[in-house]
Structure 1
Amino acid sequence: MGIKTEPVRKDKRTCLYERHVALGATMVSFGGFDMPLLYQYAGIAPEHMAVREHAGLFDVSHMGEVTVKGPDAERYVQHIFTNDIAHAPIGKIYYGMMCYENGGTVDDLLVYKMAENDFFLVINAANIDKDWAWMQQNAKGFDIDLQNRSDYYGQIALQGPEAEHIMETVLNLPCSELAFYTVKTIGDVIVSRTGYTGEDGFEVYASHEYIQQCWDKLIDAGVQACGLGCRDTLRFEVGLPLYGDELSEDITPIMAGLGMFVKLDKEEFIGKDALARQKAEGPARKLVGIELLDRAIPRHGYPVLNMEGEPIGEVTTGYHGISVDKSVCMALVDAQYAALGTDVQIQIRKKVFPGKVVKKQFYSKNYKK
């Protein structure tokens, strides 16, 4: 598997843990949580293709949720977030990063505007403690109520071309009016048209009890349960980054090709000066896509070489793409080798395989705009 996991230890368990075990899931340690890797003994391909062709159900209750409310809520979020939420309409969702002063990435996240000066932030599971400490540290001088609600919310993601129909008929959650990257509340339930698979889909945030009920209804209706394995292959194929692979303290949004989410025309945000400088000068390393001219599979950390055999970078994520039937990877390489069409090589154990720099999006997204 390409996704980095660890042997299961005494990690946190989501509110759906017992249901994963009952379904025979292979459980692994990921981001401090005991999570399902896959449910199918035949591998992750059936789960992956269920999302591409029909619908798949993910437990994403390990993600973190932080609320920001109060007179200075918008000003605070603007201060810590690279994207621009000024004058954002209620119900709009923004993707972006939190960065250190040197431009390195604290985390990538979603910011939901729930009401005026009322924001809902969704952060990565492995970064909850670090992000929370960083948010508190940078909250001084702002009149806000900052709350870590990660232990309260359970979360599921229903992804795929049939997701809207299933949401409305099985869960009785009206959602057809939601545009891509918008949110609404139904009582205490938060429903957004978001996901990380490249397909249309929804994410539902609510109490543990409600999320358990939703899961049971969807499984009883025959929806395919999906684990971390295909969550990684799905996001990878459409060029979406994973923190720890394509973004990190050492990999800035500019290096990762995510400059469109860094609004340098904003008055200020943490890391702005460093990112502006890097964008103007050009980063020393860039994230690229590489297609191998072979069926060998590149994995995280494998060296990328130039045609003279000299190291020029390393693979961040690699698979034999399930939807595209090609061996492809994303890699961070020296900027001079980042142009499309550049010939490179990837060292896989003791052998070297030829490849070519291509666009990072190996499979076309199918969002409902």
Structure 2
Amino acid sequence: MNFRARGVFTLILGSFFVSGIAGLVYQVVWTRYLALFLGHTSYAVIAVLAAFMGGLALGNAWLGAKADRVTRPLLFYAGLELGISAFAAIFPAYYDLVHQAFLAVVRGLQPTGILRLSLQFIFAGLTILVPTVLMGATLPALTRFVTRSLAELRGKVAALYAINSSGAVLGVVLAEWWWIPSLGLHLTLFIGAALSFAVGLVALILSRRVEALGDGVAPATVTSEPAEQFTPRQLRLAVVAIGVSGFVAMLYEVAWTRLLALALGSSTHAYSLMLATFISGIAVGGWLVYRWKRQAHTLAAFAVAELVLAFTLFVSLWFYDLLPWWFVKLAALLARSDPAYFLYEWLQAAVCFGVMFVPAVCLGTTLPLVSRV
């Protein structure tokens, strides 16, 4: 890769890092909004997670396919980020409209039980569906821009995935422990919108200077090691395997949220700590795959990651019941003071990392590994 192309790729990575910050700022803020809407934090977590991942999947399948066909994918990416920014800026007003529409439906139908809860989830999902669909196409668009061959795709997806996840961790920390306490939900949301706007503007300028001239990120230097070849049966198996892995990842994220709530509580603060831990593991897993340069045994590495995941989850079943008891015992050793609360926060973080981090690292390797197939 020449010096100019390396500089463009570095700028793309930096922009995607900032995009990751903004994305998780939105998720933390939306969880706070929907906790008010649904009346229960754990329901808000599930609603945001379902709508967030559903929107990402829809955006990846629909707009991601369009990104593969456009002649200027970086310009397409700029449009996505600017669209996310615009929606974030108007979100408070849009949320009020959706809330009022929900109240009108409830007054008209007077639903109870599961019907009322279903309506709450549907309207909650509608509040964040549009931006998550746009977010779902950002990785395919950038991947399309920075790659010119399958060999490049195998290396750069892991880099983009890891850098975006790293920014996401920082976004959770900034939103939950700094911006929301000091600035409130609205200003925090507007900061996220400003970050998305800045990323979109950088991508727009870069597109005019690079894509308009018919240039791009030059192909990487080809390594002497030949790329691994796969049979059609192996390709189909990989698609099914990553689908099952995604299902398991979301299953365990929800399960961990409910289980750790017994020790840490069910507040949005505790959820953000769990979310930061989970995405930290995802980021580390992505970086491990990026640093692993071998072009062989990809499916074997995927299988090892899944087996280690299963083993760690099986072992953890033995002490889940003891977690609340041990946490209360350790927390009781701390005095009721401001410095002690800081230690209490670290104790909560230690519990989260002890339970979630290694399995999350295993999960973080799966998508980058399958992208090599």
What TM-score does the superposition give when structure 2 sets the normalisation length? 0.28
TM-score normalised by the chain length of structure 1: 0.29
* RCO higher in structure (CA 8 A, sep ≥6): 2
Highest CA radius of gyration, 1 or 2? 2
Q: Name the structure with the higher strand share.
A: 1
* Bigger share in helix: 2
